Structures are given as C-alpha cells and as structure tokens.
Amino acid sequence: MASIFTKMMDGEMPAHFVWKDDVCVAFMTIAPLQPGHTLVVPRQEVDSWTDLEPDVMKHLIGVAHSVGRGLDTAYTPEKVGLTILGLEVRHVHLHVTCIWKPTDLDFGNANSNASQESIIEAADLLRKTLRAQGHSEVVDS
C-alpha cells in the first residue's frame, strides 16, 4: 500500500511542495514545529534511511542543506535543525526546521492545528527565498 507521502507525490492527496526533482520532493508539514518546517522525501518508498542507496541519501542531505539555507535566510533562526525519525509515516523523510532553543525540536510541541494560510505563507516565503538562491527545482505547489 502506498504511503501518504507517495499519495501526495502522485497528486492523490494535497501538499504544499517547494521542491521537486527526479530523486525527491520537499513540502511543508501539516504539523510544523516552527514556521517553515519542511519535509524532504525520496520518491522511492523506503522505510528506513539506512536502507537507502548512499547516493540517494547524499542527494536528500544536499536538498535538505539547500532548504536549510533557505530557511536560515527567510527566518534568521538561531540554527536550522535536521532530524530523521520516520515513526509516524513509514517512508523516509528528513525534517528541516528553524530552531531557537533545543525544545524547538520536540515533536510533542508540533502545531497540529496550524492554519492552511500559515502553511501556504511559509511555503511561498521558502519558494521565493530558494528561487533567489538560484534553485531551479523550486515548484509553485
């Protein structure tokens, strides 16, 4: 059965994409830790990041790095955090989010009631920033 992320990539479920290439996509999470919280997800449906081919993992990290630089420019956080968990959705995904303090990476604090407007606003800001940084993989939705 296809994961929720695969369904999003296939257009069966809505998502606010900011990046698409042949290997992966990046989109806004619906339960952000902080504004701009982005998921980087391989197109290949794999449960654990340790099962990915090294070149795919290297690509994901490169995209997460670009997204992180975009978030750093757009939001000027203390740091940009990167985590790989994958317990809630069994499809590898990297969480890239702004942090000001260690508890900003506590998923118990995720905003499961974030408004669509705030998610769209964050996606628009990140797209604009990534485009300004020269990334052609940025998409409009």
**Global pTM value:** 0.96
13 is written with which tokens?
């479920």
Any alpha helices (H) in the chain, and if so which ranges? 4-9, 54-75, 116-132
Q: How many Å apart are CA 53 and CA 57, to the nearest integer?
A: 6
Looking only at the bridges linking them, the beta strands covering 17-20 and 24-28 are: antiparallel
Q: What is the mean pLDDT of residues 98-122?
A: 95
Instruction: Dump pLDDT digits (tens) for 73-83.
Output: 999 999 999 99
Confidence of residue 49 (pLDDT cuts 50, 70, 90): very high
What separation in angstroms does the CA of 110 have from each of 20, 28, 97, 101, 106? 25, 13, 11, 14, 7
Domains present along the chain, CATH in parentheses: 4-108+121-132 (3.30.428.10)
Q: Is residue 88 pLDDT above 90, yes or no?
A: no
